[in-house]
């Protein structure tokens, strides 16, 4: 009999419905760099080779940490070593299941949330968020992932809309952009902020700047230049919804050091000015960020991520800092930069090709926020 297993989507649903116990059997450095996380998740590490040794004597169950409740989801890189461990644990009376496809499958998972007029796409492994905005028979997809192009196409088809625009709010450093792949798949217009040319953009796209709009049937997607995380970043307004990209998250702000480390303090100052404008908006505007941290509460409809601007402002302690203190705070003791970020930026500018192996570069935490809670 094969070892019981669950899919990445089933694990996501368990976490969303109340949490999960995860036993990760990869190497310690792999676990420390990136593992299944989120509210209600208890994730613990015990290396595979310890289970191999314990399996000989029938003591594998003794290695399971006491704070892991059952069922225990056993995880490895691709779901093979973890299947062996789960089988041994079940033989010793532990309710253990294997994560099919391991962390590779977890990294590929994209889940759609209906936020009411907006579809939010969540990549749980990294916290990346992207959006489908539709009106009448037309739509725009904002900050698409190259790994999720099929999901956007299917969502548009399900809603009977054509994707008119594939939009990046800035040159991403944590994931491979899907703007070109989505445009190729749908005939959509590629759209980037005008400042992307100064970053070295090397493919054809429509460039938009502060005050520009993109017509989507009878509605307009409005562009506001919002420098800080990067020089070219834009925030987009869709009626009362603010797509704040990596400028403003639900419980933090974007880091300013991914474009050029020596310009981080200057960009941090621009980030401060941008946030003053953005946070001065209507309390009832809805904030739809470009990323979430693992600890972020699912406040939005359908288990998604959205809060009113008033709620975000009230919970952002950085709001109380003056400009100099803000710059000091967001340039000090930052988390590690996203893995392979320099090469990912080059790919997203069109200066390196997008190949199948390129998508492996983006697996892991996004690390685009200053910290989880501010």
CATH of region 110-362: 3.60.15.10
Query: Of 289, 308, 286, 305, which Cα lies nearest the Cα of 297?
Result: 305
Taken in order 345, 349, 352, 357, the sign of the CA dihedral is: positive
- pLDDT of 295 reads 82
**Which residues pair with residue 236 across a beta bridge?**
223, 243
Q: Does the pLDDT of residue 373 top 50, yes or no?
A: no
Query: Of 253, 256, 210, 208, which Cα lies nearest the Cα of 230?
Result: 256
Q: Does the pLDDT of residue 136 top 80, yes or no?
A: yes
pTM (whole model) above 0.85: yes
Residue 283's Cβ-count burial label (10 Å; 0-12, 13-18, 19+) is exposed
Query: Percent of the chain, pLDDT > 90?
Result: 81
Residue ranges of domains in the chain: 5-105, 110-362
Per the CB < 8 A criterion, the answer to whether 185 and 153 are in contact is yes
CATH of region 5-105: 3.40.250.10
Output the CA–CA distances (angstroms, integers) from residue 286 to 102, 139, 330, 339, in the order listed: 35, 19, 24, 31
Instruction: Enumerate long-range contacts of 135-138, CB under 8 Å, 24 or more apart.
Output: 135/216, 135/217, 135/218, 135/219, 136/161, 136/216, 136/217, 136/218, 137/161, 137/162, 137/217, 138/162, 138/164, 138/216, 138/217
Quote the longest CA-to-CA distance of the chain. 69
Q: What are the pLDDT digits (tens) for 93-124?
A: 999 999 999 999 999 999 999 999 899 999 99
Question: The tokens 């001065």 sit on which residue?
Answer: 280
d(CA 48, CA 103): 15
Strands 128-135 and 138-142: antiparallel
Q: What are the pLDDT digits (tens) for 280-327?
A: 999 999 999 999 988 888 888 999 999 999 999 999 999 999 999 999
- pLDDT of 359 reads 67
């Amino acid at each position: 009999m094969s070892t019981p297993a669950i899919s990445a989507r089933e694990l996501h649903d368990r976490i969303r419905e109340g949490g999960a116990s995860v036993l990760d059997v990869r190497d310690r450095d792999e676990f420390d760099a990136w593992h299944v996380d989120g509210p209600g998740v208890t994730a613990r590490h015990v290396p595979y080779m310890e289970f191999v040794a314990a399996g000989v004597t029938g003591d594998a169950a003794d290695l399971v940490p006491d704070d892991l409740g059952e069922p225990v989801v056993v995880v490895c890189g691709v779901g093979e070593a973890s299947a062996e461990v789960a089988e041994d644990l079940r033989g010793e009376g532990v309710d253990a299941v294997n994560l099919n496809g391991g962390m590779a499958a977890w990294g590929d998972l994209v889940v759609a949330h209906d936020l009411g007029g907006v579809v939010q796409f969540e990549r749980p492994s990294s916290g990346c968020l992207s959006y489908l905005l539709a009106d009448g028979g037309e739509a725009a997809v904002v900050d698409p992932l190259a790994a999720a192009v099929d999901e956007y196409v299917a969502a548009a088809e399900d809603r009977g809309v054509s994707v008119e625009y594939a939009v990046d709010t800035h040159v991403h450093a944590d994931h491979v952009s899907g703007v070109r792949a989505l445009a190729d798949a749908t005939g959509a217009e590629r759209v980037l902020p005008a400042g992307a040319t100064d970053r070295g953009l090397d493919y054809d796209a429509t460039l938009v700047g502060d005050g520009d709009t993109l017509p989507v049937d009878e509605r307009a997607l409005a562009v506001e230049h919002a420098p800080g995380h990067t020089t070219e970043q834009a925030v987009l307004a869709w009626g009362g919804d603010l797509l704040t990209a990596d400028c403003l998250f639900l419980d933090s702000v974007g880091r300013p050091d991914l474009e050029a480390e020596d310009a981080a303090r200057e960009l941090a100052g621009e980030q401060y000015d941008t946030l003053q404008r953005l946070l001065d908006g209507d309390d009832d505007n809805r904030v739809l960020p470009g990323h979430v941290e693992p600890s972020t509460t699912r406040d939005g409809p359908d288990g998604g991520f959205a809060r009113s601007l008033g709620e975000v402002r009230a919970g952002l302690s950085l709001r109380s800092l003056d400009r100099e203190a803000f710059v000091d705070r967001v340039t000090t003791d930052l988390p590690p930069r996203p893995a392979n970020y320099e090469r990912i930026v080059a790919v997203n500018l069109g200066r390196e090709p997008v190949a199948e192996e390129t998508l492996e570069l983006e697996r892991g935490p996004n690390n685009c926020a200053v910290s989880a809670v501010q």
